[in-house]
C-alpha cells in the first residue's frame, strides 16, 4: 500500500496500534485495516464501544473549552495518542489562539505520528514519556518550559489512569504531577467506571488482560480519590455525558451505559 504522508518511515503497518484504533472509534481517518479489524473484534464483545469513545472525546472537548474560556493557555495532555479529529490544540485555540500544548505519550508509534502531524505547529510539542515515571516526565524540557512561567496549566489525564494498575500506585503518580502545578491549574480526568455496566466490566477487563495494556476499571469513589489536593468543579465526578453537557437533552436517559466517569479539579 502507498504510505500516507502522516505515517513516519519505518512504521509497521501490519500490526494494530491502540492510538489508531481509538482514532477509528472516533470516526477519524488516521487508521488502517489492521486497526479497524482489531476494533471490530472488540465491538463484537461490546457494541457500544464507539459511543463510549466518542462520549469520552466529547468530554475532552467540553473540558478544554471550559479551561480556555477561563484564561488557561497551557495544556499538558498525558497519554494523548495521536492528536487528530478534534485535538486539544484545535479546541483550545478557538478561545485562546496563543494556547500552547505539550502532548505526552509512552507509545513510540503514537509519538512518531504526532511529531509528523505537528511539525509545522510552533505552539505544540510532542514528548515521549510515561506517567508511571512522573519524575522523568516532569524533567522533559518541553514540560518544564510549559510549567516554568508559573501560569495555570490544564493537565489532561483522559482515559489514561485505567491503564495504570493498582500495583503501579496511580494515586502517587497523580500527586507527583499535582505537586508540580502552579496555583489555578486544572486536572481534567476521565476513567473507565465499574458501576455503569457491571455486566461488561469482567469480560472487558479479561479482554484487555490478554494485551500489553491491561485495563483496571474503578469505582466512582476511587476515581474521586485522584482529585486529592484539588477542588472539584461542579457537578463533581459524574458519567461522561453529565459533565457540563452542551444541552440537557444530550445526556440521554441512561448515561451510565457509557460507563466512563469524568471530572475536573482546580488546584488552589
CATH number reported for the structural domain that contains residue 43 in this entry: 3.40.50.150
Q: CA-CA-CA-CA torsion for 181, 187, 190, 195, nearest 10 degrees?
A: 110
Q: What is the pTM of this model?
A: 0.88
Q: Supply the pLDDT for residue 231.
A: 98
What does each C-alpha distance from 205 to 80, 95, 128, 137, 201 come to in angstroms? 22, 38, 26, 27, 6
Say whether 223 sits in a helix, a strand or coil: helix
Mean pLDDT taken over the chain: 89
Q: What is the distance in angstroms between the CA of the first residue and the CA of the last residue of the chain?
A: 52
Name the grid cell of 264.
475536573
Q: Is 7 within a domain? A: no
- Categorize the per-residue pLDDT at 103 as very low, low, confident or very high, splitting at 50, 70 and 90: very high
Q: Is residue 208 part of a domain?
A: yes
95 closest CA partner among 121, 125, 70, 58? 70
**pLDDT greater than 90 at residue 1:** no
pLDDT for 99 beyond 90: yes
User: Looking at the predicted structure, is the pLDDT value of residue 180 above 70?
Assistant: yes
Residue 2 lies in a domain: no
Residue 231 placed within a domain = yes
On whether residue 118 sits in a domain, the answer given is yes
Q: Which domain holds residue 37?
A: 18-245+255-266
Kindly state whether residue 141 falls inside one of the protein's structural domains: yes
Structural domain count, the chain: 1
Q: Which pLDDT does position 66 carry in this prediction?
A: 98
Query: Does any domain span residue 4?
Result: no
43 located within any domain:
yes
Amino acid at each position: 500500500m502507498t504510505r500516507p504522508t502522516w505515517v513516519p518511515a519505518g512504521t509497521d503497518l501490519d500490526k494494530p496500534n491502540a492510538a489508531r484504533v481509538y482514532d477509528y472509534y472516533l470516526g477519524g481517518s488516521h487508521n488502517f485495516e489492521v486497526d479497524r479489524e482489531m476494533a471490530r473484534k472488540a465491538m463484537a464483545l461490546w457494541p457500544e464501544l464507539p459511543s463510549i469513545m466518542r462520549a469520552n472525546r466529547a468530554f475532552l472537548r467540553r473540558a478544554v473549552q471550559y479551561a480556555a474560556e477561563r484564561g488557561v493557555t497551557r495544556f499538558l495532555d498525558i497519554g494523548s495518542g495521536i492528536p487528530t479529529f478534534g485535538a486539544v490544540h484545535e479546541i483550545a485555540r478557538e478561545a485562546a489562539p496563543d494556547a500552547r500544548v505539550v502532548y505526552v505519550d509512552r507509545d513510540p508509534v503514537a509519538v512518531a505520528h504526532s511529531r509528523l502531524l505537528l511539525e509545522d505547529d510552533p505552539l505544540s510539542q510532542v514528548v515521549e514519556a510515561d506517567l508511571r515515571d512522573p519524575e522523568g516526565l516532569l524533567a522533559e524540557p518541553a514540560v518544564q518550559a510549559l510549567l516554568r512561567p508559573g501560569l495555570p496549566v490544564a493537565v489532561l489525564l483522559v482515559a489514561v489512569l485505567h491503564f495504570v494498575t493498582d500495583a503501579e500506585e496511580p494515586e502517587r503518580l497523580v500527586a507527583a504531577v499535582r505537586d508540580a502545578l502552579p496555583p489555578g491549574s486544572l486536572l481534567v480526568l476521565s476513567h473507565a467506571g465499574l458501576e455503569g455496566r457491571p455486566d461488561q466490566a469482567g469480560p472487558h477487563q479479561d479482554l484487555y488482560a490478554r494485551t500489553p495494556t491491561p485495563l483496571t476499571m474503578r469505582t466512582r469513589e476511587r476515581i474521586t480519590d485522584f482529585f486529592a489536593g484539588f477542588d472539584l468543579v461542579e457537578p463533581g465526578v459524574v458519567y461522561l455525558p453529565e459533565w457540563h453537557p452542551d444541552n440537557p437533552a444530550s445526556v440521554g436517559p441512561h448515561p451510565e451505559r457509557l460507563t466512563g466517569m469524568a471530572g475536573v479539579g482546580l488546584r488552589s
